[in-house]
């Protein structure tokens, strides 16, 4: 298998400590989830674990199958499931994903603050049963990826001697990770490749492949490599690569409209000493008119048609249509309108100077710094196009350090929390199956993923309502999600650009490969096979 990328994978094989989707995708042959879930992301029977909810007592009851075994033959236990919460909640782990949803578990907040040596809300009844005591049971907790519960387990017996502060850099995590999925790691070339062999202790159907090698392939080489038959599977197929290989009769490209979204974000604040996002009214991006004008000055629809090659879709809200009824199809996108952009800026007091560029309403010079990641020639052309269009409405936009950054450097800057190092950025949100989790991740005051640091009472109210007791009624919940999408569209702290079809290309001798998000029965990798 090839993974199309010009960047190495980071190789932190614990999701709670990882910062790149690439590593998670490449780990799939071994890193199966603990619980099964359906196409809507709701937990169902079918995994190596099962979670049931006692709404009356606010308890999630986790049961682990006797069939679940690590690749060293040791059983997966309730201690392993509890350990996942400790990894994410321990302050020394420095997890990006610690958030207020996790604090809904009794004792997590105290454990995170170092006031308690254990999480009191995790009750290990026996080696196969874990009771998770919640402060309240929200509708989102019953869905995978919501952040309220974790759908993973980590081998406590293997990792317990590693300090939390050193876990992400440990050889046990980076070079010799342990999984309970159908395959186990034989060898890792850091950043470049992983070799897998069957896990003989796997509790599901016997894996059908003798060996899997997954390696990073430069974007410039993937089309040629696939046509030459070098790889049986190409992960992360781009629209440009798809365009080059779609007529090759030896290959099939699978795909479905994804739940991730490409967006433009504005930095409107910073993180205070307590780790909370705080708005900064002195930043030019705090002006609503500026954010809206920049959105109106972007010809996203034209770009999507020109470069999308039929596998991208112009976005009208921050939630993909792949979420079904939760997506509000009636929200109007920021359609290309330079006249409207100019009017907004004029009215808000952004005056043009003799050089054609605008100043801030207070008369100060206005230069906006854009953070972006290095990509293909098409990506570069699209970025240059937007910067030129912003210039047409009098906005001077410069790239951070004068260039697009390599992905890992881009991610470091994006999450650095410095006050004034950049003003806007483009990025991709890889979202959980549970739709109401997304607003919490990107806008919770204490979320590490709230890169723009926007926060408001209205937003907090909307996020709370979509997970209130009333929201066990799906119709009400959907209504609140629609209100949030309309609010976010109006405020333009994050502007949706386009949705992307997730594409994977396989040769015709590959059987049982899947691109669907649900993992109803263990892990589809136990079914993947090659025909002669």
Q: Which long-range contacts (CB under 8 A, 24 or more apart) does 255-258 make?
A: 255/311, 255/501, 255/502, 255/503, 255/504, 255/515, 256/322, 256/501, 256/502, 256/515, 256/516, 257/313, 257/320, 257/321, 257/322, 257/499, 257/501, 257/502, 258/320, 258/322, 258/499, 258/500, 258/501, 258/502
Give the pLDDT band of residue 314 (cuts 50, 70, 90). very high
Angle at 402 between CA 443 and CA 313, to 5 degrees: 50
- Residues 12-34 pLDDT 10s: 999 999 988 899 999 999 999 99
**Distance separating alpha carbons of residues 158 and 74, to the nearest angstrom:** 10
- Residues 247-267 pLDDT 10s: 999 999 998 888 889 999 999
Dihedral sign (CA 174, 178, 181, 182): positive
**Distance separating alpha carbons of residues 209 and 230, to the nearest angstrom:** 17
- Cα distance between the two ends of the chain: 17
**Distance separating alpha carbons of residues 117 and 107, to the nearest angstrom:** 10
Mean pLDDT calculated for residue range 43-59: 92
At 435 the pLDDT is 85
State pTM to two decimals: 0.78
Does 350 score more than 90 pLDDT? yes
Q: Directed axis angle between helix 300-307 and helix 377-392, to 10°?
A: 160
**Distance separating alpha carbons of residues 317 and 432, to the nearest angstrom:** 16
Tokens of 236: 């992360």
CATH superfamily, region 1-12+21-30+179-250+508-531: Periplasmic binding protein-like II (3.40.190.10)
Domain 259-500 has CATH 3.20.20.140: no
Cβ distance 178 to 72 under 8 Å? yes
Cβ distance 467 to 140 under 8 Å? yes
Does 496 score more than 60 pLDDT? yes
- Residues 375-386 pLDDT 10s: 878 889 999 999
- Residues 218-248 pLDDT 10s: 999 999 999 999 999 999 898 889 989 999 9
Residue 310 is given by DSSP the state T
Torsions phi, psi of 507, nearest 5? -80, 160
Closest Cα to residue 451, out of 261, 267, 264? 267
**Distance separating alpha carbons of residues 528 and 512, to the nearest angstrom:** 5
Helix H, strand E, coil C: the string for 244-256 is HHCCCCCEEEEEE
Tokens of 442: 């990107």
At 46 the pLDDT is 81
Q: Do domains 1-12+21-30+179-250+508-531 and 259-500 have the same CATH topology?
A: no
DSSP 394-446: T-EEEEGGGSPBPHHHHHHHHTS--SSS-SEEEEEE---SSTTHHHHHHH-TT
At 517 the pLDDT is 55
- Residues 414-453 pLDDT 10s: 988 766 789 999 999 877 778 887 888 788 888 888 999 9
At 521 the pLDDT is 44
- Measure Cα distances from 223 to 193, 194, 231, 251, 501 in Å: 19, 21, 10, 11, 18
Closest Cα to residue 485, out of 292, 324, 333, 317? 317
**Distance separating alpha carbons of residues 224 and 230, to the nearest angstrom:** 9
- Measure Cα distances from 395 to 193, 305, 340 in Å: 43, 25, 14
Tokens of 418: 């410095």
**Distance separating alpha carbons of residues 186 and 207, to the nearest angstrom:** 15
**Distance separating alpha carbons of residues 218 and 8, to the nearest angstrom:** 10
At 445 the pLDDT is 85
Helix H, strand E, coil C: the string for 79-143 is HHHHHHHHHHHCHHHCCCCCCCCHHHECCHHHHHCCCCCCCCCEEEEECCEEEEEECCCCHHHHE
Tokens of 257: 């409209």
Does 403 score more than 70 pLDDT? yes
Domain boundaries, the chain: 1-12+21-30+179-250+508-531, 33-172, 259-500
Cβ distance 423 to 290 under 8 Å? no
Better-scored residue on pLDDT, 120 or 521: 120
Tokens of 369: 């710094």
Q: Any bridge partners for residue 262, and if so which?
A: 428, 498
- Measure Cα distances from 255 to 239, 252, 513 in Å: 11, 10, 11
Cβ distance 194 to 185 under 8 Å? yes
Q: Which CATH fold would you assign to the domain 33-172? A: Dipeptide-binding Protein; domain 1 (3.90.76)
**Pairing mode, strands 277-279 and 529-530:** unpaired
**Distance separating alpha carbons of residues 273 and 76, to the nearest angstrom:** 39
Residue 279 is given by DSSP the state E
- Residues 155-196 pLDDT 10s: 999 999 999 999 999 999 999 999 999 999 999 999 999 999
């Amino acid at each position: 298998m090839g993974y199309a990328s010009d960047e190495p994978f980071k190789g932190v094989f614990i999701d709670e400590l990882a910062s790149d989707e690439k590593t998670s995708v490449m780990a799939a042959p071994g890193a199966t989830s603990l619980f099964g879930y359906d196409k809507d992301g709701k937990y169902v029977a079918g995994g190596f674990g099962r979670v049931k909810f006692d709404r009356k007592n606010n308890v999630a009851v986790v049961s682990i199958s006797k069939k679940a075994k690590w690749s060293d033959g040791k059983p997966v236990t309730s201690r392993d499931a509890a350990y996942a919460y400790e990894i994410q909640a321990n302050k020394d782990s420095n997890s990006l994903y610690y958030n207020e949803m996790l604090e809904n578990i009794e004792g997590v907040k105290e454990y995170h603050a170092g006031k308690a040596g254990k999480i009191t809300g995790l009750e290990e009844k026996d080696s196969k049963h874990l009771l998770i005591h919640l402060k309240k049971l929200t509708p989102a907790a019953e869905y995978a990826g919501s952040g309220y519960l974790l759908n993973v387990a980590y081998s406590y017996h293997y990792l317990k001697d590693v300090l939390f502060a050193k876990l992400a850099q440990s050889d046990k995590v980076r070079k010799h990770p342990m999984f309970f999925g159908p395959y186990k790691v034989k060898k890792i070339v850091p950043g470049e490749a992983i070799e897998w062999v069957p896990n003989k202790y796997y509790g599901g159907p016997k894996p059908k492949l003798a060996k899997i090698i997954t390696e990073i392939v430069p974007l410039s080489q993937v089309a040629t490599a696939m046509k030459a038959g070098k790889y049986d599977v190409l992960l992360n197929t781009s629209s440009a690569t798809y365009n080059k290989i779609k007529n090759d009769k030896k290959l099939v490209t699978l795909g479905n409209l994804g739940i991730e979204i490409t967006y433009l974000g504005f930095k409107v604040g910073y993180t205070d000493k307590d780790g909370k996002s705080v708005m900064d009214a002195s930043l030019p991006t705090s002006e609503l008119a500026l954010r809206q004008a920049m959105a109106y000055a972007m010809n996203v629809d034209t770009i999507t048609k020109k470069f999308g090659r039929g596998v991208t879709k112009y976005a009208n809200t921050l939630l993909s249509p792949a979420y079904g009824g939760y997506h509000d199809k009636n929200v109007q996108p920021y359609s290309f309108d330079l006249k409207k952009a100019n009017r907004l800026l004029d009215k808000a007091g952004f005056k043009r100077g003799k050089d054609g560029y605008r100043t801030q309403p207070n008369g100060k010079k206005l230069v906006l710094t854009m953070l972006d990641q290095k990509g293909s020639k098409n990506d570069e052309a699209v970025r240059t196009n937007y910067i030129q269009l912003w210039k047409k409405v009098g906005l001077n936009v410069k790239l951070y350090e004068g260039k697009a950054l390599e992905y890992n450097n881009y991610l470091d800057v994006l999450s650095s929390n410095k006050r004034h190092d950049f003003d806007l950025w483009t990025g991709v949100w890889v979202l959980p199956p549970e739709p109401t989790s997304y607003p919490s991740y990107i806008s919770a005051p204490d979320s590490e993923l709230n890169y723009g640091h926007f926060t408001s009472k209205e937003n907090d109210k909307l996020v709370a309502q979509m997970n209130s007791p009333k929201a066990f009624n799906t119709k009400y919940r959907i209504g609140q999600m629609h209100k949030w999408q309309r609010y976010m569209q109006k405020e333009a702290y994050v502007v949706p650009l386009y949705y992307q079809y997730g594409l994977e290309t396989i040769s015709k001798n590959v059987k049982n490969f899947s691109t669907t998000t649900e993992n109803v029965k263990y892990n589809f990798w136990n079914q993947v096979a090659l025909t002669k």
